[in-house]
Structure 1
Amino acid sequence: MSSYSDFDLALSKLRPHMFGKYVFLSERDGLPAGLEPFAQIKEEEGLTLIVPLEQAKAAGLAAGKKIYRRITLDCDVSLEETGLTFTVASQLASQSIPCNVLSGLHHDHLMVPAARAQEAISLLQQLSQQAQGWLQY
């Protein structure tokens, strides 16, 4: 008799998709004109923005900034599901790939260094394939 959880099923359906290049900015005076950030987080120190690289360049704000790629996880998971973020981050950490996770209502988004993004995609695809194998038992 096979037994698997919703978590195993979600991992088996994990589909990572890579999107453009981004930089992180910190602004004390709010959102600069002309920027349409992918995400913004209000912190005590100011507004953290995740902005498409081209917009940051056009605004003269990209100099010296590390470049990240956004990987969106396409899988159907409840906000109350435990372990998915940990499992994904652990998979990347096992290969020393830094990962900043943003969770929305519909998807989780990973910001990883641009130079390691393709490697991150491959690791996440391997994780999904491994989970598919679990479901066959």
Structure 2
Amino acid sequence: MHLTDLPTLLRSLAPVLRDGEWVFCWLDHDAAQAHAEHALASMREDDGMSLVLPLAHARAHGLPDTPAFRCITLTVHSSLEAVGLTAAVSGALAARGIAANVIAGARHDHVFVPEMRADEALAVLQALSRGA
């Protein structure tokens, strides 16, 4: 079941810091095809592709490798029609000066935060969940 009630979503966040470091790379459509199978996520844009790639893969192929991000998955089964979850999560992180790049999956949201602040970001989201 996919939740839509914001207080229930926040109490149920259950954020998990995933292993690995990730970079956001923009490539033209042709070049992106060579790396697409390694991407955790992608977005087709009018002028090319944005790929979220493992840092090691980007470095090995001479692709941009900074800034590095870690991924925090919100393991709650959130609905794509839920209102306010992204705002609450990004707002809590923004209050601490932590950048948040959120990608919604069909079942979970994934928050990419600067690698150097990943543990702090995880603690912020855990506190948000406890306080809901």
TM-score, normalization: structure 1? 0.85
Query: What percent identity do the matched residue pairs reach?
Result: 39
- Aligned partners of 2:51 and 2:10: how far apart in 1? 29
TM-score, normalization: structure 2? 0.88
Corresponding residue of 2:129: 128
Corresponding residue of 2:87: 86
Gaps of 5+ in 1: 132-137
Corresponding residue of 1:135: none
Q: Is the CA contact 1:35–1:51 (under 8 Å) kept in the aligned structure 2? A: no
Corresponding residue of 1:107: 108
AA aligned to 1:27 is: L
Show CA shifts across 1:51-109 (max 9, x none): 0111112222245x210011110112221110011000000000111111100111001
- 4+ residue stretches of structure 1 with deviation over 6 A? none
- Aligned partners of 2:46 and 2:38: how far apart in 1? 21
Q: Is the CA contact 2:25–2:52 (under 8 Å) kept in the aligned structure 1? A: yes
- Aligned partners of 1:34 and 1:128: how far apart in 2? 34
Larger radius of gyration: 1
Gaps of 5+ in 2: none
Pairing 1:30-109 to 2, within 5 Å after superposition: 30-33=32-35, 36-63=38-65, 65-109=66-110
Q: Is the CA contact 2:103–2:110 (under 8 Å) kept in the aligned structure 1? A: yes
Give aligned pairs, total.
126
Show CA shifts across 1:9-67 (max 9, x none): 1111111111210011111123225851001111122110100111112222245x210
> How large is the RMSD of aligned CA atoms in angstroms?
1.7
